Amino acid sequence: MDSINIVWFRRNLRISDNQCLYRALRATKKIVCLFIFDTSILSKLQPGPERRVSFIYDAVERLKREFRAMGSELLVYHGNPAVIWQRIVAEYAIDTVFYDVDYEKYSVQRDAEIELLFDSAGIRTGVVHDHVIFHPETVNKDDGSPYSVFTPYSRKWMQRFVERPPSEFDSETGLAGSLLPMQAMPMPSFESLGFEYCEYATAESAIRLEIFDNYHQLRDRPDVDGTSRLSAALRFGILSPRKLVMLASQRSPAFLNELIWRDFYQMILFHFPHVEQGPFKPAYASIEWINNEFHFERWCRGETGYPLVDAAMHQLNETGWMHNRCRMITASFLCKHLLTDWRWGEAYFASKLTDFETASNNGGWQWAAGSGCDAVPYFRIFNPELQRKKFDPIGNYVKQWNVKTHTTPLVEHEFARRRCLETYKKALYGSQ
Ligand code: FAD
């Protein structure tokens, strides 16, 4: 039996500009493509309506249809990847498995375990870094060490970009003829994954070109439709980041800058994996959080008494997406006004966002708490009412999410600001 190559789809749920497929195409063996619904990840989610899993399911189904149209299949499994790979290795004669690297702790451990299996079976691996524009080790300081501040990182990133702009990988020409012909195989039903299907209204996957025109002016306004809403499509690789970066570089420097933030946080996770567990800056580990559970629940439900915070939490709970400005304000409010450990908020966002991405979510939360690389200084504390007046001046955003203003805010702003400063100072400098 001739050996085959396998492309293991994980994040990059697309056929075009897919580096794994591109490399498999050049390896001249027949290609089998597969995807695994990983029970180690799914078992940590709450049963019931699940937006993110619904989004992934639809993307996988779409891919399956595309492979079927080419006379082949996307094999879809549901289970523990290590166990499933044992079965696949026993079933096929495999030369090489191609996949895209993921920098999250769980994925690194999973891949290390499965690579041992590949090794013992004499299977080669073709590993690519396709989720980001530049590999985290290629945008470094001149002495080779990683950056921890965004602005110099972004300058070096731009320098590389100008010298060697990324080009798309032609992963489509000749693909149909290179795939192993296969019969249609069933996909696990959505219910068998253990969740209820849920609409994800605010996740875009098509680039709206008009967004680029006014992005620099509108990107901070939650009351207008001024951002791309492409975050979930980028997170799961339905859209190629290379394609978007090339467009942004021609049309909107402000938009390009946000995509560099995306690479930046992936780079931070790659070089400083401890951020998944605790603060980037160790001094912030000694902050004495109050962690009032009642206050946390009110924040989750959007009942803090601050209309912008509450509107944003309603938007998150009802749609699975929240505007970036509001992510910053709600995160700051939880950490600084309510003195709640940022990891509680990080976990809540992770459970609700369709676009949840460990690197960006963690980066955003540590930025708001002040504990991250290049974070907002601890003494800068957003005033939620001033933020509302500035970024929702007519009140349309608060009205849209139909927030009833509670007469008594959970905490009074000036009191909360002083309490936060004292608590942070005590942790950072040991005195009040
Ligand atoms: P646009 O403004 O259209 O930006 C285009 C793309 O650039 C986004 O889709 C995203 O991929 C990237 N981007 C934009 N801003 C950032 C940023 N600050 N950091 C990293 N990438 C960025 N983004 C996620 O993708 N997943 C998350 O889990 C996530 N959690 C966050 C948590 C907090 C507390 C904060 C402050 C920010 C978080 N972000 C996260 C970043 C940002 O809020 C979202 O990417 C953005 O709001 C998505 O909407 P959009 O696609 O319309 O963005």
Model confidence pTM above 0.85: yes
User: Best of 256, 349, 360, 365 to mutate for ligand 1, by most ligand atoms within 8 A of CB?
Assistant: 360
Q: What is the pLDDT of residue 402?
A: 77
CB distance 316 to 352 below 8 Å = yes
Q: Is 308 in the pocket of ligand 1 (CB under 6 A)?
A: no
Q: What is the pLDDT of residue 1?
A: 73
Taking residues 397-423, report their average pLDDT. Answer: 90
Task: Tell me: pLDDT of 21 over 70.
Answer: yes
Banded model confidence at residue 206, pLDDT cuts 50, 70, 90 = confident
Taking residues 8-23, report their average pLDDT. Answer: 96
Q: What is the pLDDT of residue 28?
A: 87
DSSP line for 44-94: TSPSEE-HHHHHHHHHHHHHHHHHHHTT--EEEEEE-HHHHHHHHHHHS-E
At 98-130, the pLDDT tens digits run 999 999 999 999 999 999 999 999 999 999 999
Banded model confidence at residue 431, pLDDT cuts 50, 70, 90 = low
| Residue with tokens 């591109």, as numbered in its chain | 22
List the catalytic residue out of 172, 257, 289, 396: 289
Banded model confidence at residue 375, pLDDT cuts 50, 70, 90 = confident
Q: What is the pLDDT of residue 406?
A: 63
CA distances to 207, 341, 350 from 44, rounded to whole Å, are: 32, 21, 11
List the catalytic residue out of 317, 324, 383, 396: 324
Q: Is 231 in the pocket of ligand 1 (CB under 6 A)?
A: yes
Greatest Cα pair distance in the chain:
74
At 225-279, the pLDDT tens digits run 999 999 999 999 999 999 999 999 999 999 999 999 999 999 999 999 999 999 9
Taking residues 407-429, report their average pLDDT. Answer: 95
